[in-house]
Chains A and B, each alone.
Chain A
């Protein structure tokens, strides 16, 4: 049984049908990269997976539990699905360690000492132990994004969603964030990432999914997909980004 199982997912914004029936299964420990043109529905798919958007039709099952509709409270959801955004979205009025501790404290009601211990361990994992008491504004973009990853990990989610997490970064800062994700992948974290980093998608993913006009147009192991695209749309897309 797959960890994440999406069936016939539909989502419209008004007249605009953005997801036109998505079927996707992700196994525990799998790293899946979603690629595709701007507007093809990649972010919308991720946002449906954590219910930031309500889908109109279809089901999402995570670890044998439906997470759509009112089936899961935001609190439960956050312990199943973590998310990292393109724009970091750290809380600017809180220090690094407070950012990471907030959800365990408020949502899980973890005792303060325990929450601090969890925060320090996830911050160590992303290489941010030196900066626990800094404010987000004092950090580089790459450092902020690593803190954002740690903040998501602190809730110990079963799957981590990443929406173009390196797109807002200066080129020289991309590597440090990708290395953290690579390390997570190696440790067996289930990752679903929307990315424009084709090299990363090819080297780190177990599977690449190409979205086109609200559908999964093609998917497969990265080697095959990148070297032998079956559809002209994917060929064109690969040609345009490489």
Chain B
């Protein structure tokens, strides 16, 4: 067994931490894009489309992310697709994120008081014009704090990608511990890594929320 200095551990965790960050960014960017399309389709779309999107949201919200990862990885293999842990983790986390963001954003659009719709309708704006000039700008302001808040869940969610062999912060911690047998130090450092990523975001979300309410928007 080799001797690990603290620096060795930290260096290895930092290297693996990059992939936690990259996977989070992919999941968040992909999830935001898919989520936006779903949100708009859900609000303007036909009944069957709305129903399908709701089913999609319910499915992803009602099952553990771990199962979604298993299905994306092993399920795809069963179906004959050869997917890497990277692809499976990116796809599963993107879909997971999109379902939650779709729900958060729909809530924000609906939270804009109906009087705003009526006022813009009475002024002659059609559906798209009302959306663009009146509803979405207000929904957007409402959406920023919960969206930033949810990004914390995405970051923590990437830890589960370790179970399909994706080497990110958590997986690196497990591997290091297998070699160095210093569980307390190593997992404390892993936890610290997540905290350093998540804490500023949750602080920022809280700050945004305060600012929003302070501005008397609602």
Interface positions of A (Cβ within 8 A of B):
50, 52, 73-79, 81-83, 85, 87, 89-93, 102-103, 106-108, 137, 148, 151-152, 155
Separation of A151 and B141 alpha carbons in the complex (Å):
24
* CB<8 Å pairs between A and B, sample of 17: A50-B122, A74-B121, A74-B124, A75-B124, A78-B123, A85-B115, A89-B116, A89-B118, A90-B119, A91-B119, A91-B134, A92-B217, A102-B125, A102-B133, A102-B134, A107-B123, A152-B123
B126 in the interface (beta carbon within 8 A): yes
> Is there contact, CB below 8 Å, between B125 and A106?
yes
Which residues of chain B have C-beta atoms less than 8 A from A107's C-beta? 123-125, 129
Q: Does B1 contact A (CB under 8 A)?
A: no
Q: Give CA–CA (A103, B130) in the complex, Å.
A: 10
Per-residue A-contact encoding for B135-156, CB less than 8 Å = 1, 0 else:
0011001000000000000000
Task: Please name all residues of chain A whose beta carbon is closer than 8 Å to the beta carbon of B113 when the two chains form the complex.
Answer: 89
Q: A106-B129, A107-B124 are in contact. List 5 more A-B contacts (CB 8 A).
A: A83-B122, A91-B138, A92-B216, A102-B134, A137-B216
Q: Is B79 part of the contact surface with A, judged by Cβ < 8 Å? A: no
Q: Can you name the residue of chain B whose Cβ is closest to the Cβ of A47?
A: B118
Give the CA-CA distance A90 to B123 in the complex, in Å: 11
Most buried by A among B126, B133, B141: B133
B115 to chain A, nearest CB (A): 4
Chain B residues with CB below 8 A from A85, complex form: 115, 118-119
Task: Give chain B interface residues in 185-218, CB to chain A under 8 Å.
Answer: 215-217
Q: Which residues of B contact A (CB under 8 A)?
A: 113, 115-116, 118-126, 129, 133-134, 137-138, 141, 215-217
Q: Does B118 contact A52, Cβ atoms closer than 8 Å?
A: yes
Q: Is the CB of A93 within 8 A of B124?
A: no
- What is the CA–CA distance of A78 and B124 in the complex, to the nearest angstrom? 5
In the complex, what distance in Å separates the CA atom of A87 from the CA atom of B122? 14
Assembled-state Cα–Cα distance A81/B121 (Å): 12
User: In this complex, what residue of B is CB-closest to A83?
Assistant: B122
Instruction: Please give, as numbers and ranges, the residues of chain A lying within 8 Å of B217 by CB-CB distance.
Output: 92-93, 137
Q: Could you tell me the distance in whole angstroms from the C-beta of B128 to the nearest C-beta in chain A? A: 10
- CB <8 Å contact, B137 and A93: yes
CA distance A137 to B214 in the complex (A): 11
Known: A92-B138, A93-B137, A137-B215. A155 touches B115 (CB 8 A): no
Query: In the complex the two chains form, is B126's CB within 8 Å of A75's CB?
Result: yes
Q: How long is the Cα–Cα vector from A82 to B124 in the complex, in angstroms?
A: 9
**In contact, A103 and B118 (Cβ under 8 angstroms):** no
Q: Are A91 and B124 in contact (CB under 8 A)?
A: no
